[in-house]
Structure 1
C-alpha cells in the first residue's frame, strides 16, 4: 500500500527527539515614572488664644459631700483648679457674691439665683451615749417631750415644733459647740445626718427622727454669672459626659 512505512503526521516515533516549546522571552517594562511633585499648600491658621488662668470657686455648706463631682471636674478640667470654700448656712447667700457656685441648704429664696435641687437629708437626734433615747432604733417628735432641745445658731433645719420640749437655760450654741454639750448629757440636738457624721464622737450617738423635717441640698449660682465653667460643673452634677450635649 502507498501508506505503508509512513508514520502518522504529528506523532513522534520511538527514539525520535521531542520538540520542546522554547520559553517566551521575558517582557521588559519601562521603570515607573516618578509622581509629579505638587506644590504643598499651607494654610496659615490663626494662633489659638491661650486661656487665662482661673480658678473655679465652689462654696460648700457643712455636711455637703461634693467629692465625686470634684473628682470628675479634675478629670474633665485639669487646667482649671477647683477651690472649695467653706460656707456657713447663715451666710450662704452673701457668700455667693464671691463664688462661681455653691452647694447650699434650702430654703434660699432669691430671684437673682438659679437653683438645682440635688438631694434630701433625713434628720437625726444626737444624744449622749447614756441617754435613754438611744434604746429605740428610731424616734418621733413625741418621744422628745421633756428633753432639753438645743437649737444651734447655725441651725440648718429651721424651727421644729416639739410639744413638751424644754428650752436650754444657757446661751445658744453653734453645731460644733452643741455636740459636746449633748455628749455631757445637757440636752439633745437635731441635725441632718451628714452633720451628725461630720461631728461624730465616741460619747454620742444618733437616731433617725422619722417625722422630722428633711434638709434639702441644692446647687446654686447667680443668674448673671452663668459662665462656661459653671455650665460644665452643672453637667457634671447632672451626670452628663464631656461628649453630651446640653
Structure 2
C-alpha cells in the first residue's frame, strides 16, 4: 500500500479508504462518491479474498468491496450482487460447442483449484491435477492455456484474466460468488454511511432513518366561518365569499328563524347557508343583487308569516 494512502489532503481531509478484491469494479460507485463528496478523496486499497478479513480489521481501511463469506462477528456486510461461475478452457476445448455446461460435463476434466479460490465446492467435479495447486487465479489461467486442466471461477475473474487462447462457458450448477460492501461494525461512521447509501442507490437528498418529508399542511375548506356555503369552492369566488356577503351576513338580513325555512322554500329563496345551485350561481352573480334579493324575500316571508297567524306577532 502506498505511503500516501492514508495521508490527509492539504486541506486536512483524510481520504476514505476502500478495499477492493480482484474482479470487483467499483467505477460507478466512485463516480457517485466524487459527485457527492468532491472534497473527500477516495483511495482504493487492493487485497485478495484470502486477506480481505484481516485487511478490513486493520487500521488502514474504512470499508471494502469483498467476496462473501466474511466474519460476521466483527464485520457488517451488505450483499450487492451474485456472480455466475464459468469454466475457463482452451479455445479448442470440447465444451466450447455448448452455450453452457453443468458440473457433470466436467467429471473427466482435470480441475485446477488455485490457492485464492473463492468458490466453495461441496464436491468439486473432475480429478485433481498432478502438479501443485497454482498459487493464484492468474497462474491457473496460464496452466489452462497450456492444456494442463480447466478452471472454474466467477465470471468477473475470467474477464479480468482473459487472454486470446482461452475462453469460458457458464456452469449452471456451480457455486456462485456474492460481492458485498463490508466494514468493521464498531467503526461505522458518517462516511461509511455515505458509502452504504451510494451502493444501495439512495439519492443525494435521502438519508438513513430520516423521513423523505413532513406531512403537508392541512388545506383550508372555504372562507372560514362560511358553513355549508364555503365548501367545495362552489358558491363561486364572488358569490360565496366576501363580495356577495358570506353566510353570516345573508342570515342576518333574511331572518332565518322561521321565514327562511319550509314556508319560504329554500330552493328559490336562497337561504343564508345555501349558496345553492339557483341562488349561489345564476341568481346571485353580484354581491349587490344577492343582498337585495335576500332583503325582499325576507320581508315578504315575514309578512306572510304574520298574515298566517292573523296579523298577531308571535
TM-superposition CA deviations, 1:77-104 (whole Å, max 9, x none): 1111111111100001001022100011
1:222 deviation in Å? Answer: 0.4
Q: What's the counterpart of residue 94 of structure 1? A: 54
Measure, in 1, the Cα distance between the counterparts of 2:67 and 2:16. 20
Q: Is residue 130 from structure 1 mapped to residue 130 from structure 2 by the alignment?
A: no
1:158 deviation in Å? Answer: 2.3
Spell out the pairing of 1:50-65 with structure 2 (5 A cutoff). Answer: 52-65=12-25
Q: What's the counterpart of residue 8 of structure 1? A: none
- Which runs of structure 1 show a deviation greater than 3 angstroms over 4 or more consecutive aligned residues? none
8 Å CA contact 1:128–1:182 kept in 2: the answer is: yes
Measure, in 2, the Cα distance between the counterparts of 1:242 and 1:137. 42
Q: What's the counterpart of residue 187 of structure 2? A: 225
Spell out the pairing of 1:42-121 with structure 2 (5 A cutoff). Answer: 52-96=12-56, 97=58, 98-121=60-83
Measure, in 2, the Cα distance between the counterparts of 1:130 and 1:185. 10
Q: Secondary structure at the match of 1:242?
A: coil
Which has the larger helix fraction?
2
Which has the larger strand fraction?
1
Unmatched runs of 5 consecutive residues or more in structure 2: 1-10, 209-314
1:245 deviation in Å? Answer: 2.4
Measure, in 2, the Cα distance between the counterparts of 1:226 and 1:216. 22
Q: Is residue 171 from structure 1 mapped to residue 150 from structure 2 by the alignment?
A: no
8 Å CA contact 1:144–1:162 kept in 2: the answer is: no
Measure, in 1, the Cα distance between the counterparts of 2:198 and 2:72. 24
Which moves more between the two structures, 203-212 or 234-243?
234-243
1:160 deviation in Å? Answer: 4.6
Measure, in 2, the Cα distance between the counterparts of 1:133 and 1:185. 14
Q: What's the counterpart of residue 160 of structure 2? A: 198
1:52 deviation in Å? Answer: 3.6
TM-superposition CA deviations, 1:176-222 (whole Å, max 9, x none): 10101101111000000000000010000000000111100010000
Q: What's the counterpart of residue 150 of structure 1? A: 112
Unmatched runs of 5 consecutive residues or more in structure 1: 1-50
Please tell me the root mean square deviation across aligned C-alpha atoms, in Å: 1.4
